[in-house]
Amino acid sequence: MARLGSQAKAGFYPTPDTVCELLKSKIIFELEKGARLLDPCCGKGKTLSRLADGVPNLTTCGIELDHQRAHEARSRLTKVLWGDALTEMQISPNAFGLMYLNPPYDDGVSDGAKSQRLEVQFLRRYLGTLQQGGYLVQVIPYYVLKHCAKTLSRHFKAPVIIGFPEDEFQAFKQCIVVGRKRMAKKEQADMTQEYLEELAAMEPDEFLSAVNRLDLVAEKAFCIPAPAKPLTTFRARNIDPLEAIPFVRKAGILKNVLAELTPRRNNEIRPLTPLENGHLALMLAGGYMNGAIEKDGRQLVIKGVVHKSEKVINVRENDSGEGSITCHRL
């Protein structure tokens, strides 16, 4: 968790506002009847909500590891899950028409000899949630293209690579990959992979002049498909206390549970027969007695610890496995 925590802190490079504006104006997402959008690393939800701004019938879904940011994103997006997007989420496949993916830029945690950049881990993990014909908009440092090249070239036909505007490019050397999900034939996939690897090997200046820059690119419209499948599952395995507490309060469960667990004051117990030592011990251990008793007119306090031990004295079992075990409490 320490590693994840530092990833969340250090990995918060929100898409710059200027890039967001340009993305919105240059890359126009046309919609067939409504669409579902996913950002698996949504931060405060600003970028996805900006892309969806003014477009009717959209469902915007986000996931965020940092609790505070996830909380803030809830005010902007339709649904937000809090937790580790790589390991804790259960999400219906083929459910999204657009995936905006600006993941943390880092080496993955090494498992022995093999470790994979986080950008690739996120791409592979969320590929299945994008429907066929849906669009990926991925923001990564351009030199990471070499790590993503194989997956991008197999699953997206001729993805378009766009450079950040020069000023914004300087900090993290990012580019935008826009790709439509469609299996590519091997020959074409090999060519695309080679092209992406070549771009990744370039010097930063060379890269910027080899690709279209977002501020210079001509307007382009991409048609985001309507959802092909319902989003039946979109949940985290963990429970977010900020979401759970209002439910628990509203349902009054907590009050009932506390009432059941708290021994009642002045609770008079009138057993039908005198209590045996075992009964007393269990009631003490369960918190139903405070240990004060009266015996032969004297006030006594019972103190001690409770052990429960049993001795098996008989085991019977028939051929079909049914049977009985007789024990004696000691």
Residue numbers at the binding site for ligand SAM (CB under 6 A): 4, 7-8, 11-15, 39, 41-43, 46-47, 63-66, 69, 84-86, 102, 104
* Pick from 214, 221, 218, 171: nearest CA to 23: 214
Q: What's the DSSP call for residue 142? A: G
Q: Find the shortest distance in angstroms from Cβ 99 to ligand SAM.
A: 11
Taking the least distance from each CB to ligand SAM, the nearer of 57 and 238 is 238
Residue 272: which residues within 8 A CB-CB, separation 6 or more? none
State in angstroms the smallest separation of the CB of 85 from ligand SAM. Answer: 3
- Nearer to ligand SAM (CB atom), residue 69 or residue 147: 69
SS (HEC) of 211-267: CEECCCCCCEEEEECCCCCCCCCEEECCCCHHHHHHHHHHHCHHHHHHHHHCCCCCC
CA distances from 109 to 115, 179, 322 (A): 6, 27, 50
CB of 109 to ligand SAM, least distance (A): 11
Measured from the CB atom, the residue of 41 and 136 that comes closer to ligand SAM is 41
Three-class secondary structure of residue 66 per DSSP: coil
SS3 assignment, position 60: strand
CA distance 14 to 12: 6
Q: Would you tell me how many other CB atoms lie within 10 Å of the CB of residue 16?
A: 17
Q: Please, what is the minimum distance in Å from the beta carbon of residue 88 to ligand SAM?
A: 8
Please, what's the b/e burial string for 174-209 (b: 16 or more CB within 10 A of its CB; e: otherwise)? bbbbbbbbeebeeeebeebbebbeebbebeeeebbe
Q: How far is the CB of 69 from ligand SAM (least distance, A)?
A: 5
- Rounded to a whole number of angstroms, the minimum distance from the CB of residue 86 to ligand SAM is 5
> Which CB atom, from 65 or from 284, has the smaller least distance to ligand SAM?
65
- Residue 130 vs 284, nearer CB to ligand SAM: 130
Q: Which is nearer to ligand SAM, 69 or 74 (CB)?
A: 69
CB of 141 vs ligand SAM, minimal distance in Å: 11
Helix (H, G, I), strand (E, B) or coil at 196: helix
Alpha-carbon distance of 206 to 204, in angstroms, equals: 5
With respect to ligand SAM, which residue has the nearer C-beta, 60 or 153? 60
